[in-house]
Amino acid sequence: MQFDRNSLQKLQKLSRIQCTPEEEQSLLESLQNILNHFEQLNQVNTDHVEACNHVLGALHYNVMRKDETGPLLSRDEFLANSPSHVGGMIRVLPILKKE
């Protein structure tokens, strides 16, 4: 499979990024290398390899830490970390647009 400039431009539009021509060339090379690696993986014979549905299949317990509360930030400290806030709430970009 080839990853060409048209595919890259579609990907840029979907991900809403802009690249310089040098960055585009570098991305094209990197993405083509990734696809080449996948092609190599497709050539590996896996006929007698058992499927691995869960990498931690032998693990029968949760290894995550306990969910414990700690000291909380004040509202002012919390809002100081946000790029934009209004009326004590964090302002975010709209995700749905009216048409």
- Listed by start position, the domains of the chain span 5-42
CATH 1.10.20 fits 5-42, yes or no: yes
- 93 dihedral zone (left: phi>0; alpha: psi -120 to 50; beta): beta
pLDDT of res. 62: 66
Answering whether pTM is above 0.85, one says: no
pLDDT of res. 61: 67
80 exposure class (CB count in 10 Å sphere: 0-12, 13-18, 19+): exposed
Low-confidence ranges of the chain (pLDDT < 70): 56-63
